[in-house]
Chain A
């Protein structure tokens, strides 16, 4: 049964089976994104619960303009970004990072290196870069979102997202160099 069929059936009948089905499909992925963004298991678990509550309370507002997964992930990232913003009492976790961001390097090379990192290295690199950079990298490479989708989620222009992505890749590359100095890149 496809996501959309499950959603329509849930909206018509409120059947708990539909809820369980969507929960089974998405809870692991949502938890994974939450742990990547928030870095704490307990926080990620609470966040997963809050995000599912938001998803189901707003299910009737899902306009089917994007894939259901994109809509769910947008709620997930926005929840995590808001949480981190509140925690840091920072207005925009994306704005002041632009000043400090590393100089972009050759895009093709940085993308190749990023995608060739070992999983353990990638995890460490993601844990050590700013949350804004982490979010755009996850959206692009984990969720395969388009620049347009990322721009919509972050409420930025497409060119701002492209620049952010470029800087995030450079930052990741720089962080890898710092963390694994003995290993040539």
Chain B
């Protein structure tokens, strides 16, 4: 261990139990808050997106999207060998 590392050790000793605990408590509170905000977002964001879509005139329920992602076994429509059709009048660009 060189003198730089000994200095580090000595300075770390000044980070006593009280300081250590104080910072740890603050961190626990911060992460608890982040977790809570994350849970709120998880629960309410999909509903909020639905409301926003409805308010601009779309189908806010999201059912169409969910149905189209289902496999035939889950009750979805099989797209067939050719896959889904293009919307009418839409020409793929090259």
Contacts and interface: CB of A to CB of B under 8 A. Distances in A.
A115 interface: yes
10 closest cross-chain pairs (CB), A and B: A28-B12, A32-B11, A141-B4, A142-B4, A31-B15, A32-B12, A32-B8, A49-B23, A28-B15, A119-B7
Nearest to B22: A45
Contacts of B19: 31, 45
Interface stretch (B26-34, B45-53, B60-68, B75-83): B26-34
B28 A16 contact: yes
Residues of B contacting A: mostly: helix
Given A16-B28, A137-B4, A141-B2, A48 B11 contact: no
B33 to A, nearest CB: 11
Given A27-B20, A45-B19, A122 B27 contact: no
B12 A31 contact: yes
Interface residues of B, number: 26
Interface residues of A, number: 33
Nearest to B15: A31
A141 B11 CA distance: 16
A20 B24 contact: yes
Contact of B12 (A29, A53, A137): A29
A119 B7 CA distance: 6
A38 to B, nearest CB: 12
Interface of B: 2-15, 19-20, 22-24, 26-28, 30-31, 34-35
Given A27-B20, A31-B12, A32-B15, A138 B27 contact: no
8 contacts: A23-B24, A31-B11, A31-B15, A32-B11, A45-B23, A52-B23, A53-B27, A115-B2
Interface string A16-45: 100110010001110111011000010001
